Structure 1
Amino acid sequence: MNTAPRHGLARVLSKHGVCSRTQAAQWILAGRVSVDGSVVRNPEFPVVIGRHRVDVDGQALDGAPRIYLMLNKPRGLVTTAKDEHGRDTVYRCFDGTTLPWLAPVGRLDKASEGLLLFSNDPAWAARITDPRHGLDKTYHVQVDTVPTPALLQALHAGLEDDGEWLVAKQVEMLRAGGRNAWLEIVLDEGRNRQIRRLLAAHDVGVLRLVRVRVGELPLGGLAKGAWRLLTAAEVSALGGA
Structure 2
Amino acid sequence: MKKRKERYSKEKQTGPSKKRTFRKVSKKNFPAAEKTTEGIRLNKYLANAGVASRRAADQLIESGAVKINGKVVTRLGTKVLPGDKVEFGGETLREEKHRYLLLNKPKGYLTTSDDPFNRRTVMHLVEKACPERIYPVGRLDRNTMGLLLFTNDGELAKKLMHPKHNVKKIYHVYLDKNLTKNDMLRIAEGLELEDGKIIPDSIAYVAGADDKKQIGIELHSGKNRIVRRIFEHLGYQVIKLDRVFLAGLTKKDLPRGKWRFLTQKEINMLKRLG
1:158 counterpart residue number: 190
Q: Normalising by structure 2, report the TM-score.
A: 0.69
CA contact (8 A) 1:124 1:239 kept: yes
Q: 1:107 aligns with which of 125, 135, 139?
A: 139
- The alpha carbon displacement at 1:122 in A equals 0.6
Higher alpha-carbon deviation: 107-116 or 84-93: 84-93
Q: 1:19–1:102: 8 Å Cα contact kept in structure 2?
A: no
Q: Is the 2:173–2:216 Cα contact (8 Å) retained in structure 1?
A: yes
* Structure whose CA Rg is larger: 2
- Equivalences for residues 13-28 of structure 1 within 5 A: 13=46, 15-16=47-48, 18=50
Higher relative contact order by CA 8 Å / sep ≥ 6: 1 or 2?
Answer: 1
Q: Which residue of 2 aligns with 1:129?
A: 161
Does the C-alpha gap of structure 1 residues 82 and 49 become closer, same or farther in structure 2, counting only changes over 3 Å? Answer: farther
Q: Is residue 52–residue 154 contact of structure 2 (8 Å, CA) maintained in 1? A: no
State the secondary structure of the residue aligned to 1:154. Answer: helix
Q: Tell whether the 8 Å contact from 1:212 to 1:220 is kept in structure 2 after alignment.
A: no
**C-alpha distance 122-75 of structure 1, shift in aligned 2 (>3 A):** same
Measure, in 1, the Cα distance between the counterparts of 2:85 and 2:143. 39
Query: Is there any run of 5+ residues in structure 1 with no aligned partner, and where?
Result: 1-5, 22-32
Correspondence for 1:221 among 222, 247, 253: 253
- When residues 239 and 98 of structure 1 are mapped into structure 2, their CA distance, relative to the original with a 3 A threshold, is closer
Equivalent residue number for residue 82 of structure 1: 114
Q: CA RMSD in A?
A: 3.2
Q: How many equivalent pairs are there?
A: 216
Q: Which amino acid aligns with 2:156?
A: W
Which aligned segments of 4 or more residues in structure 1 are displaced greater than 6 angstroms? 56-59
Q: TM-score, normalised by structure 1?
A: 0.77
Corresponding residue number in structure 2 for 1:191: 223
In 1, are the aligned partners of 2:96 and 2:132 still within 8 Å (CA)? Answer: no
Structure 2's unaligned 5+ residue stretches are: 1-41, 54-64
Note if 1:120 corresponds to 2:152: yes
**Inter-CA distance 194–17: structure 2 relative to 1 (3 Å threshold):** farther
* Match in the other structure for 2:62: none
Distance 1:211 1:54, change over 3 A: farther
- Rounded to whole Å, the distance in 2 between the matches of 1:221 and 1:148 is 33
* 1:99 Cα offset (Å): 3.3
